[in-house]
Structure 1
Amino acid sequence: MNASTMPYVLILFYSRHGSIAEMAKHIARGVNKVSGIEAKIRQVANVSSNTETSEPAIPEQGAPYCTLDELSDCAGLALGSPSYFGSMAAPLKHFIDQTSTLWMTGQLIDKPACGFTSASTMHGGQEQCLYSMMTPLIHHGMIWLGLPYKNKELISTTGGGTPYGASHLASSTQENSLTKEEQALCEAQGERIARMALKLV
């Protein structure tokens, strides 16, 4: 990492209907509560089964696409995806599958990581989706941070929220407004990873 630049937590996500993008904003708010580190929000491009099509280099809306250099240089990583059958979405998996050069050179070893997810049903695989994001990051040597129960919203929530990472329960695929508990847990997760990243830089 360049010593002349402020360390940052990379908040990297794929969002199809907007819930994950909304969660990313609240995680960034949590990161920005900690002095000496900043949040950098990035998304991944969609993938297509038609190999003749490709996404534009600059997205039409939302955060810029992430580069491998931005991932390599981060002080911490918050990874977000909707739960698709209990697993991360294909676009995020596709991006992670391109990180073998970072794995071979150990660029992410001992950096903290966390995950966040959303599903449209209570048992839509939120926790399993977080595990699917955790697995490749552990192979990279990263340190996974969940949410401790000192965050009382984990007990009071009737929506999303898990000790494995922040989550959102959407009543439908078009609903992306977070409950107060979900917002608080996202911000707590952002603040926790920021503080840990500064300890490990």
Structure 2
Amino acid sequence: MSKVLVLYYSTYGHIETMANSIAEGARSTGAIVDIKRVPETVPPDVAKKANFKLDQAAPIVALEDLPNYDAIIVGAPTRYGRMPSQMAAFLDQTGGLWASGALNGKIGGAFTSTATQHGGQETTLFSFVTNLLHFGMIIVGLPYSHRGQMTLDAIVGGSPYGATTIAGDQGQRQPSEIDLEGARYQGKVIAETANKLFG
């Protein structure tokens, strides 16, 4: 079976929750799945004062980990319609992997959250996808076969470009069951694709 990395940054825990659901979906295919996170770059006292969720179980990723996986699914909240600096700082260190082609042909995907319904979910996903394409990765999103993203009966995340959730302007909204279903679905589709190519 394929090896899948769910790589994330989460300020308040919303993306951590989504990452666990992505991993759950990927594991349902028999894939070997690891969840790791990028380092926090905000000074500890500032992060603590701002109530960042600092007690996350996932270990910190190392650059040399990335080539060991057949698929990498990257997630982080939006910052002004793009990925946050914590994730960008990590990806900005991958020049050696890019130069060597270490990630060429691997499967990639992305997921995110925003405070509001129109807070830049799709542009943030594209900011991830741009990086993954530069690595030579094959992108898999959240297909419309996940029908939950099309409902008009509730506020939901979801985009053909990747699973999403809406956190609220104070972080008060946790991912809904439909959002988590979308995350599981995307994880499953990416792992199934990786299993076909690498399993």
Per the TM superposition, whether the score is higher than 0.5 is yes
Q: Deviations over 1:18-60 (max 9, x none)?
A: 100000000011011002x12100001111489xxxxxxxx85
Deviation at 1:70, TM superposition (A): 1.5
TM alignment of 1:92-111, pairs within 5 A:
92-111=87-106
Q: 5+ unaligned residues in a row in structure 2: which ranges? A: 45-53
Distance 1:165 1:121 in 2: 17
Pair 1:40-2:40 in alignment: no
Distance 2:56 2:134 in 1: 32
Aligned residue pairs, count:
187
- Rate the CA distance shift 1:188–1:60 in 2: closer, same or farther, 3 A: closer
TM alignment of 1:2-41, pairs within 5 A:
7-35=2-30, 37-41=31-35
Distance 2:43 2:174 in 1: 30
Pair 1:181-2:167 in alignment: no
Matched residue, 1:56: none
Q: 5+ unaligned residues in a row in structure 1: which ranges? A: 1-5, 51-58
Contact 1:14 1:20 in 2 (8 A): yes
Say which SS state the counterpart of residue 117 (structure 1) adopts.
strand
Whichever structure has more helix as a proportion of its residues is 2
Q: Structure 2 residue aligned with 1:64, among 47, 59, 62?
A: 59
Q: Structure 2 residue aligned with 1:75, among 63, 70, 79?
A: 70
Deviation at 1:105, TM superposition (A): 1.0
Distance 2:86 2:66 in 1: 16
Distance 1:175 1:17 in 2: 10
Say which SS state the counterpart of residue 141 (structure 1) adopts.
coil
Structural RMSD (CA)? 1.7
Pair 1:164-2:158 in alignment: no
Say which SS state the counterpart of residue 80 (structure 2) adopts.
coil
Say which SS state the counterpart of residue 138 (structure 1) adopts.
helix
Contact 2:2 2:191 in 1 (8 A): no
Contact 2:149 2:156 in 1 (8 A): no
- How many percent identity over aligned positions? 36
What TM-score results when the alignment is normalised by the length of structure 2? 0.89
